[in-house]
Amino acid sequence: METIFSLLYTVLASTVFALFDYFGFNISLKKGWAEFNKDRGYRVVQGLFQLFLTILLYYISGWRAAIGFNIIWWTWGCDFLYYLYCEMFNYGNDRGNFKKEVKSNGVKWAWWTPYGLLFTKKGDVIMYRKLVWQAVLGTLAAVILILA
């Protein structure tokens, strides 16, 4: 039963992180805080929030949940949820639309994912099917780690 709660907490953390990213990034764009050529203030806050969730998961459910959450994040699972929120809420006026950005192969920023590090360089497009499969496999790996 404890592992089921660990899995639920990990999914909840991934969902909350993606929701934080959705609203945080879109608000920072509107406020001018997401200027990529400046200090990247939003990314610092985002990283601190990810660290907070990781530590919280560690203390609530242990290292497997904490690592599982970060596997989901690293393999693009949280970004997949981000684009799902874009489709649901459209707060940023079509900012981050799945069809427009992902399905049309417009993602050039996922170089930090496992696929990106292995097969691309910064600025290269990663095809949407590879991103989605990577997210599915990463989520599966996280589930296996937590349930093992």
pLDDT tens digits, 49-103? 999 999 999 999 999 999 999 999 999 999 999 998 888 887 656 556 788 888 8
Place of tokens 């970004």: 79
pLDDT tens digits, 10-59? 999 999 999 999 988 888 877 776 565 555 778 888 999 999 999 999 99
13 to each of 40, 49, 112, how far by Cα in Å?
23, 11, 20
pLDDT of residue 51: 98
Rounded to whole angstroms, how far apart are CA atoms 108 and 101? 9
This prediction has a pTM of 0.91
Burial class (CB in 10 A: 0-12, 13-18, 19+), 22: buried
pLDDT of residue 96: 60
